Amino acid sequence: MKFVAITPKNHRTVMQESEAELIEGCRQNNRKSQERLYKKYAGLMLGICLRYVKSRMEAEDVMMEGFMKIYKLVGNYTATGSFEGWMKRIMVYTAIEHYRKIKRMPFDEFQAHDVQVNDYVIDNMTARDIIKLMDEMPEGYRMVLNMYAIEGYTHKEISEAMGISEGTSKSQLSRGKVFLKNLMEKSFLSHVKN
């Protein structure tokens, strides 16, 4: 089982004064601070949620739910890591929770070889384009790909969070990569043709 180490003091993020005040205000359930926090981070958080769910409306619902959790749990934040990182983590878990609630598509075991997507293709696409392509992916692929390739979670953590085995997580990632690669290349080619 993996150790989760205490964040060392020398890694502690020094927060800007304004952010510290914002957090303190949210701890005190101050509506003004909560609003400022929302306005400051809503864009970034929605960007995360969009990668995990299919529609924009659904993503915004997840984001709202995530913000509610942040306001409820902000008292537990201890400034040992970055506040933004802490919020992102909550947002990702909220998206996973949302996924687990609906669970539209069952996971299946599939072993595939590691697939590399050409960086040139990725470089010529915007984040919005990639999200559009991701919407076409099966949910299982998308979730695991997001968590592993973008958020940097390990298969162990993904398996714990999603309630699947590590093997399933690995297979979903492999399939997801193949799927996304194909989508990207297809999109790139059509773009070049046009």
Partner 1 sequence: MSSLKSKFEDFKEEPKYASWQKLLKQLDAEIPVQKKRRYYFWVLPFVFIGAIALWLTSMNFSAQRIIVDTQKEQVRFAAIADVGEKTESLALNELHQRLSTVEVHEVHPKVTPQKVARYNSNQTKIILQDEEAIASPSSPNTPKPTTLLSINGLTSEAEINTGVKNDSEEVAQVADPNTNESLRIDSVLAAEAIRIKPNEKKEDNFELEIYYAPGISNIILKDPLVKYFTPKTIADNKNLRKGISKIGFSYTTGFGVKMNVIKNLRVKSGYYFTQVNQTLYYNTTTSSCNCGQAVSLSQIDPNLQEKNMSNIGDTISVGNTHSFNNKYALNEIPVVFEYAMPMPKYKNLSTVIHIGFSYMFIRGITARMPDADNVGFVDIINKTANVVLFPSYKDAINTILGYGIVYKAKRNVEWSLAPQFKIAVTSISKNSHWYREYPWQFQVGMGVGKRF
Q: Residue numbers of the site for partner 1 (CB under 8 A)?
A: 1-7, 9, 28-29, 31, 34-35, 38-39, 42-44, 46-47, 50-51, 56-57, 60-61, 63-64, 67-68, 71-73, 75-78, 80-81, 86, 89-90, 93, 116-117, 119, 122-123, 125, 127-128, 130, 149-150, 152, 156-157, 160-161, 177
Least separation in angstroms between CB 110 and partner 1: 18
Residue type, 98: H
Among the listed residues 103, 97, 111, 91, the one whose alpha carbon sits nearest the alpha carbon of residue 37: 91
Least separation in angstroms between CB 108 and partner 1: 22
Rounded Cα distance, 153 and 161, in Å? 10
Query: Where does residue 29 fall: left (phi above 0), alpha (psi -120 to 50 degrees), or beta otherwise?
Result: left
Least separation in angstroms between CB 10 and partner 1: 13
Contacts of 52 (CB under 8 A, 6+ apart): 59, 62, 92, 95, 96, 98, 99, 142, 143, 146
Is the Cβ of residue 44 or residue 189 nearer to partner 1 in the bound state? 44
Is the Cβ of residue 57 or residue 193 nearer to partner 1 in the bound state? 57
Is the Cβ of residue 135 or residue 157 nearer to partner 1 in the bound state? 157
